[in-house]
A and B are shown apart, each in its own frame.
Chain A
């Protein structure tokens, strides 16, 4: 867990300005709002595979 949100100026040179900086600022805001994702359990590191083929539903012919 981090104590405070990162400072955009500490990541992207403050001399980058205009539309380009506006884009970075918007993504920066979204990343800060989303926050830290939870640690993924080992059991979810791989997708489920057992029996997947028999689970399948196919779209009926048009």
Chain B
């Protein structure tokens, strides 16, 4: 891991051995159910969060989330982008399903994009990095408290936090 490296090198190092969203979507488009499951794991929290924020009820949000993934599977081969804009495409599929659930003819709100993108990027991190970052940011714990919770030395926790944040730097590069 080299968090201080230039970003193209950082991206190459960090992405080695992992499927990008675009690659997963290409495989889903080809009918690969394992890729669909992986994409679901990466995005289900983001889609559900977006739906709950817009609809305000858990049952409706659950239905819209399920509809989103059925639609992803249904139309991926016909309409999914092949230019790396996978997250944006998934967001638009989710926004349509949520708008449909809300009884709207269309949904053009950009509200929720940042949250959607960040939550999906965190969900796509390697488990060790994700666990440390979730405890820090969504559990409110310090480095020492995370070390206690995970049974690791504080230095290892910091290494995981730094590598996770370096990976997020690359994946969330378009957000400001």
Q: Would you give the shortest CB distance from A24 to chain B, in whole angstroms?
A: 5
Binary per-residue interface labels of chain A (30-62) against chain B in the complex, 1 for a CB within 8 Å, 0 otherwise = 111111111011011011110011011111100
Question: Which of A30, A37, A53, A59 interacts with B175 by CB under 8 Å?
Answer: A30
Please tell me which stretch of B16-24, B88-96, B165-173 contacts chain A, meaning at least 4 of its Cβ atoms lie within 8 angstroms of it.
Answer: B165-173
Residue B156 is within 8 A (CB to CB) of chain A in the complex: no
Residue B107 is within 8 A (CB to CB) of chain A in the complex: no
Across chains A and B, the number of contacting residue pairs, with CB separation under 8 Å, is 118
User: In the bound complex, do residue A56 and residue B73 qualify as a contact, i.e. CB atoms below 8 Å apart?
Assistant: yes
For the residues of B in contact with A, the DSSP-based class is helix
Question: Which of A13, A19, A59 interacts with B78 by CB under 8 Å?
Answer: A59
| A36 partner residues in chain B, CB cutoff 8 A | 138
Question: A45 vs B162: C-alpha distance in the bound complex, in angstroms?
Answer: 28
Question: A16 vs B140: C-alpha distance in the bound complex, in angstroms?
Answer: 21
Besides A31-B168, A37-B119, A59-B78, 14 new A-B residue pairs in contact (Cβ under 8 A), listed by A number: A6-B142, A12-B158, A12-B161, A23-B166, A27-B169, A27-B172, A28-B165, A30-B175, A37-B46, A38-B52, A43-B62, A44-B66, A56-B74, A60-B78
7 tightest A-B CB contacts, nearest first:
A2-B140, A34-B118, A47-B40, A55-B74, A10-B142, A31-B137, A23-B169
Interface residues of B (CB under 8 A from A): 3-4, 29, 31, 33, 36-37, 40, 44-46, 48-49, 52, 58, 62, 65-66, 69-70, 73-75, 77-78, 114-115, 118-119, 122, 133, 136-143, 158, 161-162, 165-166, 168-169, 172, 175
